[in-house]
Amino acid sequence: MPVLLHRQAGPQIPDRIHLHLLSDSTGETLEMLAKAALAQFEDTDVMRHFWPMVRSKQHLERIVPELKANPGLVLFTLVNPDTRARLEEVCAQQGLPAVPILDHVTAALEKALGQEAHGRPGRQHTMDKAYFERVEAIQFTIAHDDGVGWENWEEADIVLAGVSRSSKTPTSIYLANRGYKVANIPLVVESPPPPALYSLKNPMVIGLTTAPERLVQIRRNRLLSLNEQAQTDYADQEKVKSEVAFARRMFADNGWAVIDVTRRSIEETAAAVIRLYNEREMRGTSQGAKPI
């Protein structure tokens, strides 16, 4: 008589999970961390519920029915002890995992700095000197895009140089949001950059380069999006190779740091720029060529 083997069923994986993000401020930090963590998982169907500016128990009580109706993971940054205690109580009653995502970092900083953290909601978004410096950086960067305003480049922290479509503008804007004043200039074989580029003292000049094959693809897609003819010198394989070689020679001749953006996202390119800039600041010396 055949023996029937019964396979034990494994844990059931839900088709969709609910992710509740509760913050006592704008929630920008919370959203960024959640997005970074979710990027580590593939084929996920996550329904996000975003609850910013939760600064009182009364506000939290209005959210509780939503937590009960859509049970899932709760991530929060709440510093008010009463509001936080109530959230943890509700989550415990409903069996919902609740994660205070900044606790470990704050505790480590308290230990390292030898002082207690200030429990002020939204403290990181206070309109202090750093806030206005970031606004100024954004305004400067927008006003000095694509080679404009070269007379003021000495005021910049960073100047990005590269051929057309090498991600100069989006990288500049991203860096500006981090508080860096950035100017950028396209390098064109037929139109040399202003002499001021070669005599800058304060800004760090960084060259952005990319694989010609990838650049051709990007430029052709750009032309097609504009309903223009893709078969032009702008997207010609040999012309593009010549442009990239021209830019690389300029970087080497001037001893500028170089970043290859071929396989980098804007965030990764910006991180590499910041690392180079910080290294120069720590050295306190003139920059040297450093391809990365």
Binding residues: 162-169
Would you say 141 and 148 are in contact if contact means Cβ atoms under 8 Å apart?
A: no
Task: Tell me if residue 110 falls in helix, strand or coil.
Answer: helix
What residues are designated binding site for ADP? 162-169
Would you tell me how many other CB atoms lie within 10 Å of the CB of residue 159? Answer: 26
Would you say 215 and 168 are in contact if contact means Cβ atoms under 8 Å apart?
A: no
Written as one string, the DSSP assignment of 14-27 is PS-EEEEEEESS--
> What's at 3, amino acid-wise?
V
Distance separating alpha carbons of residues 42 and 204, to the nearest angstrom: 38
Residue in 206, 209, 159, 149 with CA at minimum distance from that of residue 184: 159
Would you say 121 and 55 are in contact if contact means Cβ atoms under 8 Å apart?
A: yes
Which tokens in the block code for residue 207?
Answer: 């060259």
Question: Looking at the DSSP assignment, which residues form a beta bridge with residue 75?
Answer: 21, 99
Question: Looking at the DSSP assignment, which residues form a beta bridge with residue 260?
Answer: 209
147 sits in the region (left: phi over 0; alpha: psi -120 to 50; else beta) called left
Distance separating alpha carbons of residues 160 and 162, to the nearest angstrom: 7
Would you say 197 and 153 are in contact if contact means Cβ atoms under 8 Å apart?
A: yes
